[in-house]
């Protein structure tokens, strides 16, 4: 019975959700994404096929052709979330962003392929928009039992302060997430998962791991990070190191940049630019640099041997950073997978 449950991962990226589902024992037959640069990492680390494709042009008939005969179909996905995020609240034109409509295409594919189980993950802000409510109502019209809630990743042992919206739907009965596993006193601190990595300097790459690579810092940023405390920000600096925008009235509201992480706490939300010291609290707790690509991947709960690019190829911060920051944390994918298995009685 368990082998009949088969998933397709829409907007799969490099496979964070797929990897987690597979760890939970759910077969993922394929991942679909329009970003061909994700193919290597997805297929190298997962027992699944990467299909480069535009979701808006894919049909439910095509999806049904991928599922094995008599499969109990699972359709999962995390539509690109930047257009719904907190950072774009002031962008009046964001509804014209082509990514805005991808959730409607997700719903269209559900109606056309009629999967037995659905999972959708996105940013919390999505709940504020009609596109989400249309998605939920569309599922209910198709006779799905719909469940959704905000998930604090720390409460599931993920070493990151990441809040996500998780929706689960099924045709037979309500499918809920498994219970939380951690209380604040048990949250996993970053020292538990990255402290063992070799020390490197800003701009340096560890010779045995090309992903353990830190972005170079300018001379002034080297001085700035030296003056930054764990858990602190640019407010720790002498005035001659502060930016002009921070000195102006209202500058103090931007406290979440140029900061250091704290060893004894989970990391802040890993974004697509976590490798840059100036874009958030991404300074290493003790070393005078931003965290490395490998450290960011580990904080996203990718295994330490997860491969992001072919051996010997150049590692680009912008590309790999985008891949890692956009991913569903592997452990969250595993939680979703466990929830589905509990529902189907395969735990």
pLDDT (tens digit per residue) in 248-266: 555 555 566 788 999 999 9
- Quick check: is 231 in a domain? no
In this predicted model, what pLDDT tens digit does every residue of 37-63 receive, in sequence order? 999 999 999 999 999 999 999 999 999
Q: Into how many domains does the chain fold?
A: 1
To the nearest whole number, what is the mean pLDDT of the chain? 91
Residue 161 lies in a domain: yes
- pLDDT at residue number 98: 54
- Whether 257 is in a domain gets the answer no
The pLDDT score that the predictor gives to residue 258 is 86
In-domain check, residue 141: yes
CATH of the domain at 81: 3.40.50.150
Distance of alpha carbon 234 from the chain centroid: 27
Pair 70, 111: CB distance under 8 Å: no
Of 55, 47, 51, 57, nearest to 18 by C-alpha is 47
Q: Which residues contact 24 (CB under 8 A, 6 or more apart)?
A: 333, 334, 336, 337, 338, 340, 341
**Residue 6, strand partner residues:** 27, 73
Distance CA 97, CA 43 (A): 29
91 vs 283 pLDDT, higher one = 283
Query: In this model, does residue 237 exceed pLDDT 70?
Result: yes
The predicted structure's pLDDT at residue 248? 59
Both structure tokens of 244: 């002009």
Q: How many CA atoms lie within 13 A of 308 on its CB side?
A: 28
Q: Give CA–CA dist 23/33, Å, rounded.
A: 21
What pTM, to 2 d.p., does this model score? 0.92
Instruction: Specify the pLDDT at position 254.
Output: 56
pLDDT tens readout for residues 79-100: 885 554 454 445 455 455 455 6
Q: What is the DSSP string of 33-59?
A: ES-GGGHHHHHHHSSSEEEE--GGG--
Give 16-39 pLDDT, tens digit per residue. 999 999 999 999 999 999 999 999
128 lies in some domain:
yes
Alpha carbon distance, N-terminus to C-terminus of the chain:
12
The whole domain housing 95 covers: 2-182+329-344
132, two tokens: 């989400």
Beta-bridged to residue 117, according to DSSP, are 74, 170
The alpha helices in 198-279, defined as continuous H runs, are 219-226, 244-247
pLDDT at 278: 86
Active site residue 81: yes
Instruction: Give dist(CA 337, CA 119) in Å, integer.
Output: 10
Would you say residue 33 lies in a domain? yes
Among the listed residues 81, 153, 245, 346, the single catalytic one is: 81
Does residue 289 contact residue 234 with C-beta atoms inside 8 Å? Answer: no
**Token reading at 23:** 């760890």
Q: What are the pLDDT digits (tens) for 169-219?
A: 999 999 999 999 999 999 999 999 999 999 999 999 999 999 999 999 999
User: Hey, which bits of 115-225 come out as E strands?
Assistant: 117-122, 145-152, 163-170
pLDDT for res 81: 55
Q: Is residue 25 part of a domain?
A: yes
pLDDT tens per residue across span 132-183: 999 999 999 999 999 999 999 999 999 999 999 999 999 999 999 999 999 9
Note whether residue 87 is domain-resident.
Answer: yes
- pLDDT value at residue 88: 47
The residue with greater pLDDT, 336 or 281, is 336
């Amino acid at each position: 019975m368990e082998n009949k449950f088969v998933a397709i991962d829409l907007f799969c990226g490099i496979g964070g959700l797929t990897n987690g589902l597979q760890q939970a024992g759910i077969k993922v037959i394929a991942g679909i994404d329009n970003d061909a640069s994700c193919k290597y990492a997805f297929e190298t680390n997962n027992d699944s096929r990467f299909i480069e494709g535009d979701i808006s042009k894919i049909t439910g008939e095509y999806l049904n052709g991928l599922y094995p005969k008599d499969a109990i179909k699972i359709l999962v996905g995390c539509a690109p979330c930047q257009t719904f995020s907190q950072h774009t609240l002031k962008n009046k034109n964001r509804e014209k962003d082509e990514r805005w409509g991808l959730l409607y295409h997700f719903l269209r594919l559900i109606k056309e392929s009629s999967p037995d189980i659905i999972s959708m993950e996105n940013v919390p802000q999505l709940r504020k928009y009609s596109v989400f409510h249309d998605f939920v109502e569309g599922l209910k019209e198709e006779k799905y039992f719909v469940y959704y809630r905000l998930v604090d990743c720390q409460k599931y042992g993920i070493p990151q302060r990441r809040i996500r919206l998780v929706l689960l739907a099924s045709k037979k009965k309500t499918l809920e997430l498994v219970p939380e596993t951690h209380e604040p006193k048990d949250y996993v601190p970053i020292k538990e998962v990255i402290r063992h990595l070799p020390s490197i300097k800003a701009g340096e790459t560890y010779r045995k791991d090309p992903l353990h690579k830190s972005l170079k810092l300018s001379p002034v940023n080297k001085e700035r990070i030296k003056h930054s405390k764990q858990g602190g920000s640019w407010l720790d600096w002498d005035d001659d190191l502060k930016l002009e925008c921070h000195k102006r009235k209202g500058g103090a509201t931007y406290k979440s940049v140029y900061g250091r992480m704290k060893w004894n706490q989970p990391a802040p939300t890993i974004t697509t630019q976590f490798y840059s010291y100036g874009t958030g609290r991404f300074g290493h707790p003790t070393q005078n640099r931003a965290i490395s690509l490998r450290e960011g991947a580990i904080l996203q709960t990718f295994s330490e041997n997860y491969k992001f690019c072919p051996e010997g190829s150049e590692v680009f911060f912008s590309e790999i950073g985008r891949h890692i920051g956009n991913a569903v944390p592997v452990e969250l994918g595993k939680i979703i997978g466990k929830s589905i298995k509990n529902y189907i009685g395969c735990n």
